[in-house]
Structure 1
Amino acid sequence: MAFFPDSLQTLENSLGYASAKNHSISDNIANVDTPGYKAKDVEFKNVLQNELKSSLEAKRTHSQHIPFNHFNTDQSYRTVTRRNTMYNHNGNNVDVDKEMAELADNQIYYQALVDRINGKFSSLKTAIGGGN
């Protein structure tokens, strides 16, 4: 039995995603007037699929079958550059209104993750203290 359940690892990965997204949004906002700057996004890549692969236990009927836990689920996001749009005459494609809306959304997401982690640790503290 693992001391910390897989849900804490998932929450940690989600915090990493939210932090990377916040960093890319702040870079975009900081470069709103930089000529030629291309905005960056952080996106999930097959997160649900990877999580399902890592948590499913499949029965292997042949020794050469690949087990589900063989797949790499360390990083569930990546940073990409938006190249197909241009909003300003100087080649910059940062839409400050869009970035501010994404920043607010990401802050709510991050805070929800922190609250969930705090709840997990509070449950552990209660269990260790014997319910007191």
Structure 2
Amino acid sequence: MTVFNNRTLLFLEKGLQGSMVKQKAVAQNMANFNTPGYNSAKVNFKEQLQSALGSSKKIALAATKEGHITNRAPLNKINPQIVKMTNTQINTDGNNVDIDQEMAQMAENLIYQNTAINQLNSRIGILKNVISEGR
């Protein structure tokens, strides 16, 4: 395992990738708020990340080789997708975008991004400290 290829850094990377896709979907929704017939888009990557972490009620099994049994989904299987929501209540013009909900989603995503970036910076700072102190 290389220094930059540990599970925590990969998890943070996947989380940031998912939040970028979510930001794109929210921006599309907000841009099409007044577009008649537009169906809002959602991205649900948090469940994939939770599955990759493993159940919080069970002890996570350590898998040091690819063939080992684990109760976590592999991180490379996390692939956030934009999905059109067609089963929500539609306004009179056929548009189902709730601008208040989109603003809340944008704020939540921004908090998530900032937290993930802070964690990533912290991990890199630890590695930097180890490298510089371990002369």
Q: Find the residue that maps to 2:81 and give its secondary structure.
A: strand
For residues 86-125 of structure 1, the aligned pairs below 5 Å read 86-125=89-128
CA contact (8 A) 1:47 1:76 kept: no
Task: Describe the superposition over 1:77-125 as per-residue Cα deviations: whole angstroms up to 9, x where unpaired.
Answer: 3321111123421100000000001101110110000010000111111
Q: Which runs of 5+ in 1 are unaligned?
A: 59-64
- Structure 2 letter corresponding to 1:88: N
* Identity value in percent: 33
Structure 1 residue 72, shift from structure 2 partner:
5.0
* Root-mean-square deviation (Å): 2.8
TM-score for the superposition, normalised by structure 2: 0.79
Task: Describe the superposition over 1:6-25 as per-residue Cα deviations: whole angstroms up to 9, x where unpaired.
Answer: 10000000001110110000
Q: Which runs of 5+ in 2 are unaligned?
A: none
1:34 aligns with 2:39: no
